[in-house]
Amino acid sequence: MGRNERGRKIFLAVHRYIGLFAGAVFVLIGLSGGLLAFREDIDEWLNAPLMRVEPPTPAVMRPLDEILAAATAAMPAESRPERITLPRHAKAAAVIAYMIETDDLDSSFRQVFVDPYRAEVTGDRLLAHGDDVFAQPLVQIVMAFHWTLLLGVNNAYLIGCLGIALFVSIMLGLSLWLPRNGDWRMGLTIKWGASRERIVYDAHRSVSAYFAILLLATLATGIAMIFKPATHSLATLISPVRPEPDFGRSTPIDGRAPIGLDAAVASADRIFPKGRLHWVLLPSGDDGVYVVGKQSESEPSRAKTFRNVGVDRYSGSVLQIQDRDDFTAGERLLEWLFPLHCGEAFGVPGRALVALTGLAPLALYVTGFLRWRQKRRARRK
């Protein structure tokens, strides 16, 4: 047997056994990831009475201070409001996240939804409580399953190791995909009139060829996010990566009450006059600060923003600025990981492509398993 043929048999064996065992888990991760590409839409659809509102004509939002006051009035007395996230579209409610310290030493994290046009509460729900995964909303449960298989955050590295094995398997599959006669078009088509064995073989090769780059990209970004410290160290090899910004501390002023949300946003608007108001992180303690996020159209992420302004809660002065336009190459790499992984960096088409890619592991596993069974039967005969 020639050296190339021996190498091919080794590649095939490694590819086969990774696929048979790790591939089954990959199917579940892929299907859950495909759903999560449209996680906000699914969450709103499942919880429409809470999360959707009917805008009036004209659709004018109430002041942020009124929206926060309505939410605070609906919270228990011991609650601590943490963040207000503005509606992502005209028919969405504003979301105020808050925390409650409980007797079991695990904090409860909850959300209040407020109609931004009428400053009226539409509902309240539990977001997370300790390690009780199944107390979360369905989308949060699917997300926890996607990156930890419900084994807990501390065991997420197991999924990362599985991802590395699958990444290697796909690379080996690509090397095996290359037709021996050099006609690569044979690896992209299915001979529907051929035998059942040939159709299964062609289907496995074709699906892998069409989705290999997308699968590799989602695996690579997922692995990078799970092994975040290592990814951070690698990013520093490209360029300096600064630590998370410290937005400063507020200085109490005798006889002066804290400013409100609208005044804090007005201070941030002087720094970032353009962009959509995405969120306001609320002060924690007497020396806490407002952190106002103004999301730009050019940002790849829709779930968060890296254009933030720290505002003193008493004087309204700007204490610190985070501007993604000043990011280094390494910081931009880290910024793009999640938006690439879920497809939101490219809008609805990107999300749809990721959702479709989530079906690819199922197709590959089914065709690969059938092909393995066919070859076993042939060897027995």
Please say if the pLDDT value at position 299 is more than 50: yes
pLDDT band at 251 (very low <50, low <70, confident <90, very high): very high
Rounded to two decimals, the pTM is 0.90
Query: Pairing between strand 289-295 and 94-100?
Result: unpaired
Mean pLDDT of the chain: 92
Find the radius of gyration of the CA atoms of the chain: 25
Which residue do the tokens 């690569």 mark? 184
Q: Where are the domains of the chain?
A: 3-38+150-239+343-380, 48-136
3-state DSSP assignment of residue 245 = coil
Please say if the pLDDT value at position 271 is more than 80: yes
Please say if the pLDDT value at position 224 is more than 70: yes
**What is residue 198's predicted lDDT score, i.e. its pLDDT?**
87
pLDDT tens digits for range 320-376? 999 999 999 999 999 999 999 999 999 999 999 999 999 999 999 999 999 888 888
**What is residue 183's predicted lDDT score, i.e. its pLDDT?**
66
Please say if the pLDDT value at position 145 is more than 80: yes
Query: How far is 69 from 65, CA to CA, in rounded Å?
Result: 6
> How many CA atoms within 13 Å lie on the side-chain side of 298?
6
Contact 235, 333 (CB under 8 A): yes
Query: How far is 295 from 280, CA to CA, in rounded Å?
Result: 11
Please say if the pLDDT value at position 112 is more than 70: yes
- Mean pLDDT over residues 55-82, rounded? 95
Closest CA to 125 of 95, 81, 87, 86: 95
Please say if the pLDDT value at position 315 is more than 90: yes
**What is residue 329's predicted lDDT score, i.e. its pLDDT?**
95
- Residues whose CB falls within 8 Å of the CB of residue 283, separated by 6 or more in sequence, listed in order: 250, 258, 289, 290, 313
Percent of the chain's residues with pLDDT above 90: 76
Phi, psi of 254 (to 5 degrees): -60, 130
**What is residue 188's predicted lDDT score, i.e. its pLDDT?**
79
3-state helix, strand, coil in the chain (%, to 5): 55, 15, 30
pLDDT tens digits for range 168-222? 999 998 888 877 666 667 777 888 888 888 899 888 989 998 999 999 999 999 9
Please say if the pLDDT value at position 257 is more than 60: yes
Query: How far is 222 from 351, CA to CA, in rounded Å?
Result: 15
**What is residue 1's predicted lDDT score, i.e. its pLDDT?**
45
- Mean pLDDT over residues 56-69, rounded? 96
Query: How far is 207 from 29, CA to CA, in rounded Å?
Result: 18
pLDDT band at 104 (very low <50, low <70, confident <90, very high): low
Contact 324, 299 (CB under 8 A): yes
